[in-house]
Amino acid sequence: MAQYISSPSVTADILKKFGIKLRKNLGQNFLTDTNILKKIIKLSGINKSETILEVGSGIGSLTELILEQAQKVICIELDARLVSVFKEIMKTYNLDNAVLIEKDAMRLDYLLLSRDYSIKKMVSNLPYKIAAPLILKILLEAPGIEKMYLTIQKDIAERLLAKKGDKNYSSYSIKTGFLADFKILFNIQKTCFMPAPHVDSVFIEVSARERNLEGNVYKYQDRSLSLQQVKRFFNFIDACFANRRKKMINSIENSGAVLPVDKMDLMIKMLHVIGKNKDIRAEQLELNDFLEIFIALENDNNLNY
Ligand code: SAM
Instruction: Produce one character per residue of 213-231: b if its CB has 16 or more CB atoms within 10 Å, e if not.
Output: eeeebbebeebebebebbe
Extents of the domains making up the chain: 8-209, 217-300
- At 127, the pLDDT band (50, 70, 90 cuts) reads very high
More confident residue, 101 or 249: 101
Helix axes 131-141, 154-161, angle to 10 degrees: 50
CA–CA gap between residue 203 and residue 157 (Å, rounded): 9
Instruction: Using most ligand atoms within 8 A of CB, pick from 77, 85, 153 the residue to mutate for ligand 1.
Output: 77
Q: Say if CB 229 and CB 184 are below 8 A apart.
A: no
Superfamily of segment(s) 8-209 = Vaccinia Virus protein VP39 (3.40.50.150)
Whole-angstrom Cα Rg for the chain:
22
- At 298, the pLDDT band (50, 70, 90 cuts) reads confident
CA nearest neighbour of 134 among 187, 78, 183: 78
**Ligand 1 contact, 106 CB (< 6 A):** yes
Separation of CA 172 and ligand 1 centre (Å): 22
CA–CA gap between residue 284 and residue 171 (Å, rounded): 12
Least confident stretch, 117-131, 143-157, 203-217? 203-217
3-class secondary structure, 38: helix
pLDDT for res 303: 46
More confident residue, 304 or 27: 27
Report pLDDT digits (tens) over 271-281: 988 999 989 99
Closest Cα to atom 11 of ligand 1: 56
Helix axes 264-273, 287-299, angle to 10 degrees: 130
Report pLDDT digits (tens) over 39-77: 999 999 999 999 999 999 999 999 999 999 999 999 999
- At 287, the pLDDT band (50, 70, 90 cuts) reads very high
**CA separation, residue 20 to residues 14, 87, 129 (Å):** 8, 14, 20
More confident residue, 276 or 303: 276
Q: Which letter does DSSP use for residue 268 in this model?
A: H
CA–CA gap between residue 81 and residue 78 (Å, rounded): 9
- At 285, the pLDDT band (50, 70, 90 cuts) reads very high
CATH number of 217-300: 1.10.8.100
Question: How are strands ordered across the β-sheet holding 217-220?
Answer: 211-212, 217-220, 223-226
Q: Say if CB 53 and CB 120 are below 8 A apart.
A: no
Ligand 1: which atom is nearest the Cα of residue 54?
1
**CA separation, residue 267 to residues 26, 197, 254, 272, 294 (Å):** 43, 45, 15, 9, 9
CA–CA gap between residue 74 and residue 228 (Å, rounded): 28
**Ligand 1 contact, 61 CB (< 6 A):** yes
pLDDT for res 262: 59
Report pLDDT digits (tens) over 80-97: 999 999 999 999 998 999
- At 265, the pLDDT band (50, 70, 90 cuts) reads confident
CA–CA gap between residue 58 and residue 75 (Å, rounded): 9
DSSP symbols for 75-94:
EEE--HHHHHHHHHHHHHTT
